[in-house]
Structure 1
Amino acid sequence: MSSRVTSRSSRTSLLRTRAAVLAAGLGVSAVLGAGVAAAADATSASASASSVASAVEAQAAAQAKAAKVTASAKVKAQAAAKKKAAAKKAAAAKKAISWVHPVKKYKLSAKFNQAGGMWQSTHSGQDFAVSSGTDVVAAHGGTVVKTGGNGAGDGPAYGNAIVIRHGNGTYSQYAHLSRIDVRVGQVVATGQHIARSGNTGNSSGPHLHFEIRKTPNFGSAVDPVAFLRAKGLSL
């Protein structure tokens, strides 16, 4: 009787031990499974974070590139605008210096087409009131075609005079001179000294009589002030 009880008790103890071991094994498996799952989640989260970081980095790079392109385009546009402005200024300067005032520090007096007893009909040019001996220059480059007293052939009213031929059928005349410093056939440059102003001929006081003509001779004059203003000069 005692022997059977002991044997039964031993088997019961063994079963309990196996059950405990099995339960422990299951517990370990559960813990390991949870660990594996957690590790997998961590790996996935890490991969996701890396993907987001890459996307952000790519976007930042794209924005930086776009900003660089925009800045470059802006610099090019500014450079083009400056170049255009410089070219316009140079063109204006070139236009202005292609014709110059025949005298400096003058006062405009008798004007073109002005009526009066000083002229046979109306005034044929523009008078620049200056003192005798003032430097007179070629208003534009060309070739001297007429010089001398008696208006260089245009009549005694002009006194000593010079006529210069320019391009495109344009001539300029300078009259009432005290001295002539060029000769017929001489080529002169824009702004080159050609004479000294005076009071010769039919004149009420020292001044330069200036004409723009279509031919070298009297009777073909046009408004010299309008002509010079069209060339960029202010009078």
Structure 2
Amino acid sequence: MSKRTMIHRLRPSVLRTRGAVVAAGMGAVMVVGAGAGVASADAGKATKPVAANAASAVAAQADAQAKAAAKKADAKKVAKKKAKKAPSWVKPVNNYTLTASFAQGGAMWSAKHSGQDFAVPIGTPVKAVNGGTVVKAGANGGGDGPAYGNAIVIKHANGKYSQYAHLSKINVSVGSKVKTGQLIAKSGNTGNSSGPHLHFEIRTTPNYGSALNPANFLRGVGVTI
């Protein structure tokens, strides 16, 4: 067989082989492409739920924060209302009879009376008329003299002092921080006393000799005795 004849016979075979290879390659590309397309579509489907879940979580967090802020605001309103309702000053005792008044004269005192007396049974609760710090507490008038018996003096934020004398029991000590209306003692009949009562003063200093009219002062802060 001549070389020319062999070449003619080989060409169709070679072409068929090349065609098969090309076809196979295209098939592979198509298969890969189809797979990639399917994968891409699946990825798109998977992304949507993830995004939806994230948005839902953000919305839930924002809602929780809004509720917390509203709750905090409500708590502040309640605190303000309570602060408005809470009295700044109160009476030192309840269920009393007023006896000796401020500046009253008589044989009971070496000078005029320095406070207001509240006749009450021994053991009556005595309250701090306003919040403050205890600066005197004990026998001998807390340092003001034996005539006062057991006594307490409290310094208040406005610079004034309140004194409670003739006590049967003292529940605080020097340095104690007290609140308005807090139980600080029990009334008694100690010291220079003609009967069970609470001797009460308002002072400009912690010491004897600086007393103001306690009834007038209490009236000025909204308390009528």
TM-score by length of 1: 0.60
**Secondary structure of 1:97's partner?**
coil
| 1:56-98: CA deviation from partner (whole Å, max 9, x where unpaired) | xxxxxxxxxxxxxxxxxxxxxxxxxxxxxxxxxx8xx949810
Q: Give the paired residue count.
A: 145
Q: Which has the higher helix share?
A: 1
The amino acid across from 2:195 in the alignment is: G
Matched, 1:201 2:191: yes
**Secondary structure of 1:152's partner?**
helix
Deviation, 1:167, is: 1.4
Q: Which residue of 2 aligns with 1:184?
A: 174
Structure 1: which 4+ aligned runs deviate by more than 6 Å?
Answer: none
Matched, 1:129 2:119: yes
Deviation, 1:168, is: 2.4
Matched, 1:106 2:96: yes
* Structure 1 residue runs without a partner (length 5+): 1-89
Matched, 1:141 2:131: yes
Q: Which residue of 1 aligns with 2:141?
A: 151
1:27-176 equivalence runs, <5 A = 94=84, 97-176=87-166
| 1:20-73: CA deviation from partner (whole Å, max 9, x where unpaired) | xxxxxxxxxxxxxxxxxxxxxxxxxxxxxxxxxxxxxxxxxxxxxxxxxxxxxx
Q: Which residue of 2 aligns with 1:225?
A: 215
CA RMSD of aligned residues (A): 1.7
**Secondary structure of 2:87's partner?**
helix
TM-score by length of 2: 0.62
Rg comparison, structure with higher value: 1
Does the Cα contact within 8 Å between 1:96 and 1:233 map onto a contact in 2?
no
The amino acid across from 1:192 in the alignment is: Q
- Residue identity over aligned pairs, in percent, reads 69
**Secondary structure of 1:228's partner?**
helix
